[in-house]
Structure 1
Amino acid sequence: MTQGGWLAKLLTLAAALLLAATPALAATAPAGPKPAPVTARIAVAANFADVARQLASEYGRQSGHRITISSASTGKLYAQIHNGAPFDALLSADASTPRLLVNEGLADGSTVQDYATGRLVLWSRDPNLVRNGEALLRQGNIGKLAIANPELAPYGAAARETLQYLRRWTELQPRLVIGENVGQAAQFVASGAAPLGLLPASLVRPARGRPTGSAWEVPAAWHAPIVQSAVLLRHGRGNAAARGFLRYLQSPAVRARIRSLGYD
Protein backbone atom coordinates (compact mmCIF):
# COMPACT_ATOMS: atom_id res chain seq x y z
CA MET A 1 0.00 0.00 0.00
CA THR A 2 1.31 3.42 -0.85
CA GLN A 3 2.08 6.06 1.71
CA GLY A 4 -0.98 8.04 0.57
CA GLY A 5 -3.18 4.98 1.06
CA TRP A 6 -1.93 4.44 4.62
CA LEU A 7 -2.55 8.13 5.42
CA ALA A 8 -6.12 7.97 4.10
CA LYS A 9 -6.80 4.83 6.13
CA LEU A 10 -5.48 6.43 9.33
CA LEU A 11 -7.63 9.53 8.81
CA THR A 12 -10.73 7.40 8.26
CA LEU A 13 -10.02 5.39 11.43
CA ALA A 14 -9.49 8.56 13.49
CA ALA A 15 -12.78 10.00 12.27
CA ALA A 16 -14.61 6.81 13.20
CA LEU A 17 -13.13 6.81 16.70
CA LEU A 18 -14.09 10.46 17.18
CA LEU A 19 -17.72 9.80 16.20
CA ALA A 20 -17.93 6.82 18.52
CA ALA A 21 -16.64 8.86 21.45
CA THR A 22 -18.99 11.83 20.92
CA PRO A 23 -22.09 10.37 22.73
CA ALA A 24 -20.00 9.40 25.75
CA LEU A 25 -18.46 12.84 25.90
CA ALA A 26 -21.91 14.42 25.66
CA ALA A 27 -23.23 12.17 28.42
CA THR A 28 -20.45 13.15 30.80
CA ALA A 29 -20.46 16.85 29.96
CA PRO A 30 -21.62 18.99 32.90
CA ALA A 31 -25.25 20.19 32.72
CA GLY A 32 -25.92 23.87 32.27
CA PRO A 33 -26.52 25.99 35.36
CA LYS A 34 -29.98 25.63 36.91
CA PRO A 35 -32.18 28.73 36.79
CA ALA A 36 -31.74 30.83 39.89
CA PRO A 37 -34.58 30.54 42.45
CA VAL A 38 -37.09 33.37 42.23
CA THR A 39 -39.33 34.79 44.95
CA ALA A 40 -42.92 35.76 44.15
CA ARG A 41 -45.26 37.69 46.41
CA ILE A 42 -48.86 36.53 46.02
CA ALA A 43 -51.89 38.45 47.32
CA VAL A 44 -54.52 35.95 48.49
CA ALA A 45 -58.11 36.43 49.64
CA ALA A 46 -58.42 35.62 53.34
CA ASN A 47 -60.66 32.59 52.81
CA PHE A 48 -57.97 30.84 50.73
CA ALA A 49 -54.89 31.93 52.70
CA ASP A 50 -54.29 28.71 54.64
CA VAL A 51 -54.74 26.57 51.53
CA ALA A 52 -52.45 28.88 49.54
CA ARG A 53 -49.70 28.60 52.15
CA GLN A 54 -49.84 24.80 51.99
CA LEU A 55 -49.72 24.83 48.19
CA ALA A 56 -46.96 27.45 48.12
CA SER A 57 -44.81 25.29 50.37
CA GLU A 58 -45.33 22.23 48.15
CA TYR A 59 -44.69 24.23 44.99
CA GLY A 60 -41.49 25.62 46.50
CA ARG A 61 -40.15 22.15 47.23
CA GLN A 62 -40.88 21.06 43.66
CA SER A 63 -39.66 24.14 41.82
CA GLY A 64 -36.99 25.64 44.04
CA HIS A 65 -38.81 28.98 43.88
CA ARG A 66 -40.20 30.76 46.94
CA ILE A 67 -43.76 32.00 47.31
CA THR A 68 -44.74 34.46 50.05
CA ILE A 69 -48.42 34.93 50.86
CA SER A 70 -50.09 38.18 51.93
CA SER A 71 -53.76 37.81 52.84
CA ALA A 72 -56.64 40.22 53.39
CA SER A 73 -60.14 40.78 52.07
CA THR A 74 -60.34 40.99 48.29
CA GLY A 75 -61.42 44.63 48.47
CA LYS A 76 -58.46 45.56 50.64
CA LEU A 77 -56.02 43.73 48.36
CA TYR A 78 -57.48 45.55 45.36
CA ALA A 79 -56.87 48.88 47.10
CA GLN A 80 -53.29 47.87 47.98
CA ILE A 81 -52.57 46.92 44.37
CA HIS A 82 -53.88 50.30 43.24
CA ASN A 83 -51.59 51.98 45.74
CA GLY A 84 -48.54 50.25 44.31
CA ALA A 85 -48.12 47.20 46.56
CA PRO A 86 -45.50 44.98 44.84
CA PHE A 87 -47.65 41.86 44.45
CA ASP A 88 -46.85 39.55 41.55
CA ALA A 89 -50.20 37.76 41.37
CA LEU A 90 -53.65 37.90 42.94
CA LEU A 91 -55.83 35.02 44.11
CA SER A 92 -59.15 36.76 44.52
CA ALA A 93 -62.34 35.56 46.23
CA ASP A 94 -64.39 36.68 43.25
CA ALA A 95 -64.19 36.71 39.47
CA SER A 96 -64.78 40.41 38.94
CA THR A 97 -61.74 41.91 40.72
CA PRO A 98 -59.08 40.25 38.51
CA ARG A 99 -60.96 41.31 35.38
CA LEU A 100 -61.31 44.84 36.72
CA LEU A 101 -57.54 44.97 37.25
CA VAL A 102 -57.04 43.77 33.67
CA ASN A 103 -59.30 46.56 32.39
CA GLU A 104 -57.31 49.07 34.41
CA GLY A 105 -54.01 47.90 32.94
CA LEU A 106 -52.77 46.43 36.23
CA ALA A 107 -52.93 42.74 35.28
CA ASP A 108 -52.35 40.40 32.33
CA GLY A 109 -55.70 39.38 30.81
CA SER A 110 -54.25 36.25 29.21
CA THR A 111 -53.53 34.78 32.67
CA VAL A 112 -56.99 35.10 34.27
CA GLN A 113 -58.11 31.71 35.54
CA ASP A 114 -60.80 30.35 37.86
CA TYR A 115 -59.20 28.24 40.58
CA ALA A 116 -62.10 27.48 42.96
CA THR A 117 -65.79 27.97 43.64
CA GLY A 118 -66.59 28.72 47.27
CA ARG A 119 -69.36 27.36 49.45
CA LEU A 120 -71.11 29.33 52.17
CA VAL A 121 -72.12 27.65 55.43
CA LEU A 122 -73.97 28.59 58.58
CA TRP A 123 -71.60 27.61 61.39
CA SER A 124 -71.52 27.52 65.16
CA ARG A 125 -68.86 26.21 67.51
CA ASP A 126 -71.77 24.71 69.50
CA PRO A 127 -72.26 21.19 68.12
CA ASN A 128 -76.00 21.32 68.87
CA LEU A 129 -76.96 24.79 67.68
CA VAL A 130 -77.22 24.23 63.92
CA ARG A 131 -79.51 21.23 63.85
CA ASN A 132 -81.84 22.62 61.17
CA GLY A 133 -79.91 25.35 59.43
CA GLU A 134 -82.61 26.27 56.96
CA ALA A 135 -85.26 26.74 59.65
CA LEU A 136 -82.82 28.73 61.76
CA LEU A 137 -82.00 31.09 58.92
CA ARG A 138 -85.56 31.41 57.68
CA GLN A 139 -87.32 32.12 60.95
CA GLY A 140 -85.15 31.18 63.91
CA ASN A 141 -84.21 33.44 66.79
CA ILE A 142 -80.73 34.71 65.92
CA GLY A 143 -79.04 36.81 68.56
CA LYS A 144 -75.76 37.66 66.83
CA LEU A 145 -74.53 36.59 63.41
CA ALA A 146 -70.96 37.10 62.19
CA ILE A 147 -70.27 37.87 58.53
CA ALA A 148 -67.41 39.47 56.62
CA ASN A 149 -67.80 43.05 55.43
CA PRO A 150 -70.06 42.79 52.35
CA GLU A 151 -68.37 45.84 50.81
CA LEU A 152 -64.91 44.27 50.91
CA ALA A 153 -65.32 40.49 51.01
CA PRO A 154 -67.19 38.42 48.38
CA TYR A 155 -68.25 35.91 51.05
CA GLY A 156 -69.70 38.80 53.02
CA ALA A 157 -71.60 39.86 49.91
CA ALA A 158 -72.90 36.28 49.54
CA ALA A 159 -74.01 36.32 53.19
CA ARG A 160 -75.90 39.57 52.59
CA GLU A 161 -77.51 38.13 49.43
CA THR A 162 -78.56 35.06 51.42
CA LEU A 163 -80.29 37.15 54.08
CA GLN A 164 -81.89 39.31 51.41
CA TYR A 165 -83.15 36.18 49.67
CA LEU A 166 -84.76 35.12 52.96
CA ARG A 167 -86.07 38.68 53.52
CA ARG A 168 -84.27 38.93 56.85
CA TRP A 169 -81.49 41.37 55.95
CA THR A 170 -83.20 44.45 57.38
CA GLU A 171 -84.35 42.60 60.49
CA LEU A 172 -80.94 41.12 61.27
CA GLN A 173 -78.70 44.07 60.38
CA PRO A 174 -78.60 45.38 63.99
CA ARG A 175 -77.47 41.90 65.14
CA LEU A 176 -74.63 41.46 62.68
CA VAL A 177 -71.04 41.24 63.91
CA ILE A 178 -69.03 42.31 60.88
CA GLY A 179 -65.41 41.29 60.37
CA GLU A 180 -62.99 43.05 58.07
CA ASN A 181 -62.52 39.71 56.29
CA VAL A 182 -63.77 36.13 56.63
CA GLY A 183 -60.89 35.18 58.90
CA GLN A 184 -61.91 37.80 61.44
CA ALA A 185 -65.59 36.84 61.11
CA ALA A 186 -64.71 33.20 61.78
CA GLN A 187 -62.72 34.27 64.84
CA PHE A 188 -65.80 36.04 66.21
CA VAL A 189 -67.65 32.72 66.15
CA ALA A 190 -64.72 30.66 67.40
CA SER A 191 -64.26 33.03 70.37
CA GLY A 192 -67.97 33.09 71.24
CA ALA A 193 -68.44 36.77 70.38
CA ALA A 194 -71.17 35.60 67.99
CA PRO A 195 -72.88 32.20 68.31
CA LEU A 196 -73.42 31.91 64.53
CA GLY A 197 -71.62 32.94 61.36
CA LEU A 198 -72.15 32.78 57.61
CA LEU A 199 -68.68 31.75 56.51
CA PRO A 200 -66.67 29.87 53.88
CA ALA A 201 -66.90 26.10 54.21
CA SER A 202 -63.11 25.98 53.91
CA LEU A 203 -62.65 27.87 57.19
CA VAL A 204 -64.81 25.58 59.30
CA ARG A 205 -63.57 22.32 57.80
CA PRO A 206 -60.17 21.12 58.99
CA ALA A 207 -57.72 19.73 56.46
CA ARG A 208 -58.89 16.26 57.50
CA GLY A 209 -62.25 15.26 58.90
CA ARG A 210 -65.66 16.81 59.40
CA PRO A 211 -66.41 20.39 60.39
CA THR A 212 -65.99 21.17 64.06
CA GLY A 213 -69.05 22.39 65.96
CA SER A 214 -72.17 22.30 63.78
CA ALA A 215 -72.65 23.56 60.23
CA TRP A 216 -75.18 23.66 57.43
CA GLU A 217 -74.37 24.41 53.81
CA VAL A 218 -76.37 27.30 52.33
CA PRO A 219 -78.04 26.35 49.03
CA ALA A 220 -76.10 27.78 46.10
CA ALA A 221 -79.29 29.27 44.65
CA TRP A 222 -79.60 31.65 47.59
CA HIS A 223 -76.67 33.80 46.43
CA ALA A 224 -74.56 34.47 43.35
CA PRO A 225 -71.87 31.85 42.66
CA ILE A 226 -68.66 32.53 44.57
CA VAL A 227 -66.26 31.96 41.69
CA GLN A 228 -62.68 32.69 42.71
CA SER A 229 -60.23 33.80 40.03
CA ALA A 230 -56.48 34.41 39.87
CA VAL A 231 -54.41 36.69 37.65
CA LEU A 232 -50.79 37.66 37.07
CA LEU A 233 -50.30 41.30 37.99
CA ARG A 234 -48.29 43.86 36.07
CA HIS A 235 -45.55 43.78 38.70
CA GLY A 236 -45.11 40.03 38.15
CA ARG A 237 -44.94 39.95 34.35
CA GLY A 238 -41.35 38.73 34.35
CA ASN A 239 -41.59 36.61 37.49
CA ALA A 240 -41.14 32.92 36.69
CA ALA A 241 -42.20 31.84 40.19
CA ALA A 242 -45.53 33.66 39.97
CA ARG A 243 -46.29 32.29 36.49
CA GLY A 244 -45.30 28.81 37.59
CA PHE A 245 -47.50 28.95 40.69
CA LEU A 246 -50.56 29.93 38.64
CA ARG A 247 -49.89 26.97 36.33
CA TYR A 248 -49.45 24.76 39.38
CA LEU A 249 -52.95 25.67 40.60
CA GLN A 250 -54.40 24.17 37.42
CA SER A 251 -52.73 20.76 37.77
CA PRO A 252 -55.20 17.88 38.34
CA ALA A 253 -53.67 16.91 41.68
CA VAL A 254 -53.89 20.45 43.05
CA ARG A 255 -57.46 20.90 41.80
CA ALA A 256 -58.44 17.69 43.60
CA ARG A 257 -56.72 18.96 46.74
CA ILE A 258 -58.62 22.26 46.59
CA ARG A 259 -61.91 20.39 46.27
CA SER A 260 -61.08 18.29 49.33
CA LEU A 261 -60.60 21.45 51.40
CA GLY A 262 -64.12 22.81 51.06
CA TYR A 263 -64.36 24.16 47.52
CA ASP A 264 -66.08 23.13 44.31
Structure 2
Amino acid sequence: MKKISRTLMASLLSLGVSCAAQAEEVQVAVAANFTAPMKVIAADFEKATGHKIVTTFGATGKFYAQIQNGAPFDVFLAADDETPAKLEKENGTVAGSRFTYATGKLVLWSAKSDYVDAKGEILKKNTFAHIALATPKLAPYGLAAEEAMKKLGVYDALQPKFVQGESIGQTFTFVSTGNAELGFVALSQVYEGGKIKSGSGWIVPANLHNPICQDAVILTKGKDNKAAAEFTKYLQSESVKTVIRSFGYDL
Protein backbone atom coordinates (compact mmCIF):
# COMPACT_ATOMS: atom_id res chain seq x y z
CA MET A 1 0.00 0.00 0.00
CA LYS A 2 1.39 3.41 -0.98
CA LYS A 3 2.02 5.86 1.77
CA ILE A 4 -0.13 9.00 1.79
CA SER A 5 2.11 12.02 1.25
CA ARG A 6 2.41 14.56 4.00
CA THR A 7 1.03 17.21 1.67
CA LEU A 8 -2.09 15.14 0.87
CA MET A 9 -2.61 14.27 4.54
CA ALA A 10 -2.38 17.95 5.47
CA SER A 11 -4.92 18.80 2.79
CA LEU A 12 -7.37 16.17 4.03
CA LEU A 13 -7.01 17.33 7.63
CA SER A 14 -7.50 20.92 6.51
CA LEU A 15 -10.67 19.96 4.63
CA GLY A 16 -12.04 18.19 7.71
CA VAL A 17 -11.38 21.19 9.90
CA SER A 18 -12.97 23.47 7.29
CA CYS A 19 -16.17 21.39 7.13
CA ALA A 20 -16.39 21.24 10.92
CA ALA A 21 -15.96 24.98 11.13
CA GLN A 22 -18.77 25.58 8.63
CA ALA A 23 -21.24 23.35 10.48
CA GLU A 24 -23.22 25.25 13.10
CA GLU A 25 -25.82 24.54 15.77
CA VAL A 26 -29.23 26.18 15.73
CA GLN A 27 -31.57 26.30 18.72
CA VAL A 28 -35.20 26.09 17.61
CA ALA A 29 -38.28 26.68 19.78
CA VAL A 30 -41.14 24.68 18.27
CA ALA A 31 -44.87 24.76 19.02
CA ALA A 32 -45.90 21.40 20.49
CA ASN A 33 -48.39 20.63 17.69
CA PHE A 34 -45.50 20.53 15.20
CA THR A 35 -43.47 17.93 17.13
CA ALA A 36 -43.91 14.99 14.75
CA PRO A 37 -43.17 16.79 11.47
CA MET A 38 -40.31 18.74 13.04
CA LYS A 39 -38.52 15.55 14.04
CA VAL A 40 -38.62 14.37 10.42
CA ILE A 41 -37.63 17.77 9.02
CA ALA A 42 -34.77 18.24 11.51
CA ALA A 43 -33.26 14.82 10.73
CA ASP A 44 -33.42 15.49 6.97
CA PHE A 45 -31.92 18.97 7.38
CA GLU A 46 -29.00 17.67 9.45
CA LYS A 47 -28.24 14.99 6.84
CA ALA A 48 -28.41 17.52 4.00
CA THR A 49 -26.34 20.30 5.59
CA GLY A 50 -24.24 18.92 8.43
CA HIS A 51 -25.70 21.52 10.79
CA LYS A 52 -27.14 20.42 14.13
CA ILE A 53 -30.65 21.33 15.26
CA VAL A 54 -31.46 21.46 18.97
CA THR A 55 -35.25 21.51 19.40
CA THR A 56 -37.39 22.49 22.36
CA PHE A 57 -41.14 21.79 22.16
CA GLY A 58 -43.80 23.63 24.12
CA ALA A 59 -46.58 26.21 24.27
CA THR A 60 -46.29 29.33 22.14
CA GLY A 61 -47.27 31.63 25.01
CA LYS A 62 -44.60 30.16 27.28
CA PHE A 63 -41.96 30.50 24.57
CA TYR A 64 -42.83 34.17 24.18
CA ALA A 65 -42.19 34.76 27.88
CA GLN A 66 -38.94 32.78 27.74
CA ILE A 67 -37.70 34.70 24.71
CA GLN A 68 -38.52 37.96 26.47
CA ASN A 69 -36.36 36.75 29.37
CA GLY A 70 -33.37 35.94 27.17
CA ALA A 71 -33.89 32.26 26.28
CA PRO A 72 -31.13 31.13 23.88
CA PHE A 73 -33.32 30.39 20.84
CA ASP A 74 -32.23 31.27 17.29
CA VAL A 75 -35.47 30.38 15.50
CA PHE A 76 -39.08 30.29 16.67
CA LEU A 77 -41.79 28.13 15.07
CA ALA A 78 -44.99 29.35 16.70
CA ALA A 79 -48.51 27.95 16.66
CA ASP A 80 -49.91 31.31 15.59
CA ASP A 81 -48.94 34.40 13.59
CA GLU A 82 -49.66 36.93 16.32
CA THR A 83 -46.80 36.02 18.67
CA PRO A 84 -44.01 36.24 16.05
CA ALA A 85 -45.57 39.50 14.80
CA LYS A 86 -45.49 40.86 18.35
CA LEU A 87 -41.82 39.93 18.73
CA GLU A 88 -41.18 41.59 15.38
CA LYS A 89 -42.73 44.86 16.59
CA GLU A 90 -40.61 44.63 19.74
CA ASN A 91 -37.43 44.34 17.62
CA GLY A 92 -36.85 40.81 18.84
CA THR A 93 -36.49 39.29 15.36
CA VAL A 94 -34.46 39.57 12.18
CA ALA A 95 -36.29 41.97 9.86
CA GLY A 96 -38.01 40.26 6.94
CA SER A 97 -37.51 36.73 8.27
CA ARG A 98 -41.11 35.99 9.31
CA PHE A 99 -43.27 33.69 7.16
CA THR A 100 -46.17 31.24 7.53
CA TYR A 101 -44.85 27.67 7.45
CA ALA A 102 -48.18 25.85 8.03
CA THR A 103 -51.89 26.30 8.68
CA GLY A 104 -53.08 24.01 11.44
CA LYS A 105 -56.28 22.00 11.76
CA LEU A 106 -58.18 21.32 14.97
CA VAL A 107 -59.74 17.94 15.72
CA LEU A 108 -62.06 16.73 18.47
CA TRP A 109 -60.50 13.38 19.30
CA SER A 110 -60.93 10.42 21.61
CA ALA A 111 -58.63 7.45 22.12
CA LYS A 112 -61.78 5.31 22.09
CA SER A 113 -63.02 3.94 18.79
CA ASP A 114 -66.50 5.07 17.69
CA TYR A 115 -66.70 7.57 20.56
CA VAL A 116 -66.56 10.87 18.67
CA ASP A 117 -69.12 10.96 15.85
CA ALA A 118 -68.45 12.33 12.36
CA LYS A 119 -70.30 15.61 13.02
CA GLY A 120 -69.21 16.37 16.56
CA GLU A 121 -72.74 15.95 17.92
CA ILE A 122 -71.24 14.45 21.09
CA LEU A 123 -70.52 18.02 22.24
CA LYS A 124 -74.22 18.83 22.33
CA LYS A 125 -75.14 15.50 23.95
CA ASN A 126 -72.69 16.30 26.77
CA THR A 127 -72.59 12.74 28.09
CA PHE A 128 -68.92 12.71 29.14
CA ALA A 129 -67.20 13.67 32.38
CA HIS A 130 -64.13 15.50 31.06
CA ILE A 131 -63.08 17.29 27.87
CA ALA A 132 -59.50 18.44 27.35
CA LEU A 133 -58.19 21.55 25.62
CA ALA A 134 -55.00 23.56 25.75
CA THR A 135 -55.03 26.74 27.84
CA PRO A 136 -56.32 29.42 25.42
CA LYS A 137 -54.00 32.13 26.79
CA LEU A 138 -50.92 29.99 26.12
CA ALA A 139 -51.82 27.82 23.14
CA PRO A 140 -53.47 28.93 19.88
CA TYR A 141 -55.11 25.52 19.43
CA GLY A 142 -56.77 26.00 22.81
CA LEU A 143 -58.04 29.40 21.70
CA ALA A 144 -59.41 27.83 18.51
CA ALA A 145 -61.19 25.17 20.58
CA GLU A 146 -62.73 27.86 22.77
CA GLU A 147 -63.91 29.79 19.69
CA ALA A 148 -65.43 26.65 18.16
CA MET A 149 -67.37 25.73 21.29
CA LYS A 150 -68.72 29.26 21.63
CA LYS A 151 -69.81 29.28 18.00
CA LEU A 152 -71.57 25.94 18.50
CA GLY A 153 -73.31 27.30 21.62
CA VAL A 154 -71.92 24.61 23.94
CA TYR A 155 -69.16 26.50 25.75
CA ASP A 156 -71.05 27.43 28.93
CA ALA A 157 -72.47 23.92 29.39
CA LEU A 158 -69.07 22.25 28.88
CA GLN A 159 -66.85 24.66 30.80
CA PRO A 160 -67.22 22.84 34.18
CA LYS A 161 -65.81 19.72 32.50
CA PHE A 162 -62.66 21.33 31.07
CA VAL A 163 -59.27 19.77 31.70
CA GLN A 164 -56.66 22.23 30.46
CA GLY A 165 -53.12 21.46 29.37
CA GLU A 166 -50.32 24.02 29.25
CA SER A 167 -49.61 22.96 25.67
CA ILE A 168 -51.31 20.94 22.98
CA GLY A 169 -48.80 18.19 23.77
CA GLN A 170 -49.99 17.90 27.36
CA THR A 171 -53.60 18.10 26.17
CA PHE A 172 -53.01 15.15 23.85
CA THR A 173 -51.58 13.19 26.78
CA PHE A 174 -54.73 13.82 28.83
CA VAL A 175 -56.87 12.30 26.07
CA SER A 176 -54.55 9.49 24.97
CA THR A 177 -54.23 8.22 28.57
CA GLY A 178 -57.98 8.39 29.19
CA ASN A 179 -57.81 11.13 31.83
CA ALA A 180 -60.30 12.91 29.59
CA GLU A 181 -62.69 10.94 27.41
CA LEU A 182 -62.16 13.35 24.53
CA GLY A 183 -60.48 16.64 23.75
CA PHE A 184 -59.44 19.20 21.17
CA VAL A 185 -55.98 18.44 19.78
CA ALA A 186 -53.99 19.23 16.64
CA LEU A 187 -54.83 17.01 13.68
CA SER A 188 -51.10 16.43 13.17
CA GLN A 189 -50.97 14.54 16.48
CA VAL A 190 -53.40 11.85 15.34
CA TYR A 191 -53.00 11.90 11.55
CA GLU A 192 -51.14 9.37 9.42
CA GLY A 193 -51.52 8.08 5.89
CA GLY A 194 -54.30 10.50 5.05
CA LYS A 195 -56.55 9.57 7.96
CA ILE A 196 -56.92 9.60 11.74
CA LYS A 197 -54.68 6.71 12.74
CA SER A 198 -56.40 5.58 15.96
CA GLY A 199 -59.41 6.25 18.16
CA SER A 200 -62.15 8.44 16.69
CA GLY A 201 -62.32 12.08 15.72
CA TRP A 202 -64.13 14.96 14.08
CA ILE A 203 -62.07 17.50 12.15
CA VAL A 204 -63.49 20.84 13.29
CA PRO A 205 -64.65 22.93 10.29
CA ALA A 206 -62.37 25.89 9.69
CA ASN A 207 -65.31 28.32 9.77
CA LEU A 208 -65.84 27.63 13.49
CA HIS A 209 -62.61 29.35 14.54
CA ASN A 210 -60.05 31.85 13.32
CA PRO A 211 -57.38 30.41 11.00
CA ILE A 212 -54.48 28.76 12.81
CA CYS A 213 -51.71 30.38 10.77
CA GLN A 214 -48.37 29.24 12.16
CA ASP A 215 -45.45 31.60 11.58
CA ALA A 216 -41.71 31.04 11.82
CA VAL A 217 -39.14 33.76 12.45
CA ILE A 218 -35.43 34.14 13.06
CA LEU A 219 -34.90 35.72 16.47
CA THR A 220 -32.34 38.42 17.19
CA LYS A 221 -29.99 35.88 18.77
CA GLY A 222 -29.88 33.97 15.47
CA LYS A 223 -29.09 36.93 13.20
CA ASP A 224 -25.46 35.84 12.64
CA ASN A 225 -26.16 32.10 12.72
CA LYS A 226 -25.71 30.65 9.24
CA ALA A 227 -27.59 27.49 10.21
CA ALA A 228 -30.63 29.55 11.30
CA ALA A 229 -30.85 31.23 7.90
CA GLU A 230 -30.37 27.95 6.05
CA PHE A 231 -32.97 26.17 8.17
CA THR A 232 -35.71 28.76 7.59
CA LYS A 233 -34.97 28.65 3.86
CA TYR A 234 -35.09 24.85 3.95
CA LEU A 235 -38.44 24.99 5.78
CA GLN A 236 -39.92 26.75 2.74
CA SER A 237 -38.69 24.18 0.20
CA GLU A 238 -41.10 22.01 -1.78
CA SER A 239 -39.78 18.78 -0.25
CA VAL A 240 -40.48 20.06 3.26
CA LYS A 241 -43.92 21.32 2.25
CA THR A 242 -44.72 17.75 1.18
CA VAL A 243 -43.72 16.50 4.64
CA ILE A 244 -45.83 19.17 6.35
CA ARG A 245 -48.92 18.32 4.27
CA SER A 246 -48.49 14.63 5.09
CA PHE A 247 -49.19 15.47 8.75
CA GLY A 248 -52.54 17.06 7.96
CA TYR A 249 -51.56 20.73 7.68
CA ASP A 250 -52.60 23.14 4.97
CA LEU A 251 -50.15 25.52 3.32
Please give the TM-score of this superposition, normalised by the length of structure 1: 0.85
**Residue among 188, 198, 205 paired with 2:174:** 188
1:141–1:261 Cα change, 3 Å: same
Shift of 1:49: 2.0
Query: Match for 2:60: what amino acid?
Result: T
Partner SS state of residue 52, structure 1 = helix
Q: Which residue is 2:154 aligned to?
A: 168
Q: Render the CA deviation track for 1:33-54: whole Å, top value 9, x for unaligned.
A: 4452100000001111222122
Counterpart amino acid of residue 98 in structure 1: P
> Partners of 1:114 and 1:38 in 2: how far apart?
24
Correspondence 1:172-251 to 2 at 5 A: 172-206=158-192, 210-251=196-237
Q: Distance in 2 between matches of 1:145 and 1:55?
A: 32
Cα distance in 2 between the residues matched to 1:86 and 1:126: 40
- Taking the aligned partners of 1:139 and 1:255, their CA distance within structure 2 comes to 38
State yes or no: 1:85 paired with 2:80.
no
Map Cα deviations across residues 148-205 of structure 1 (whole Å, 9 max, x no partner): 0111000000000011111211211110110010011100011110010111000112
The reply to whether residue 119 of structure 1 matches residue 135 of structure 2 is no
Distance in 2 (CA, whole Å) between partners of 1:36 and 1:208 is 39
**In the alignment, structure 1 residue 109 sits paired with structure 2 residue 95:** yes
Does the 8 Å CA contact 2:99/2:215 hold for their aligned counterparts? yes
- Structure 1 residue 251 displacement after superposition: 0.4
- Residues 182-240 of structure 1: per-residue CA shift (max 9 Å, x gap): 01110001111001011100011247864211111000000000000000000000001
Cα separation, 2, equivalents of 1:208 and 1:40: 31
Contact 1:117 1:227 in 2 (8 A): yes
Find the aligned partners of 1:141 and 1:183 in 2 and give their Cα distance.
25
Deviations 1:66-108 (A, max 9, x none): 0010111000000000000010010000001111001001112
- Maintained 8 Å contact 2:108/2:120: no
Q: C-alpha displacement at 1:140, in angstroms?
A: 4.1
- Partner Cα separation in structure 1 for residue 194 and residue 103 of structure 2: 19
> Highest CA radius of gyration, 1 or 2?
1
Contact in 1 for aligned 2:126/2:158 (Cα 8 Å): no
Which residue among 63, 73, 77 is the counterpart of 2:59? 73
One-letter amino acid of the counterpart of residue 175, structure 2 = V
User: Is the Cα–Cα contact under 8 Å of residues 28 and 54 in structure 2 kept in the other structure?
Assistant: yes
- Cα pair 1:88 1:233 within 8 Å, conserved: yes
Aligned residues: 236
Alignment partner of 1:36 is 2:36: no
Letter of the structure 1 residue corresponding to residue 244 of structure 2: I
**Which residue of structure 2 lines up, in the alignment, with residue 22 of structure 1?**
none
Q: SS at 1:198's partner residue? A: strand
**Residue in 1 that maps onto 2:43:** 57
Bigger shift: residues 167-176 or 85-94: 167-176
Q: Rate the CA distance shift 1:107–1:38 in 2: closer, same or farther, 3 A.
A: same
**Structure 1: stretches of 5+ with no match in the other structure:** 1-28
The CA RMSD over aligned residues, in Å, is 1.8
Contact 1:109–1:231, Cα closer than 8 Å, also in 2: no
Conservation of the 8 A alpha-carbon contact between 1:99 and 1:109? no
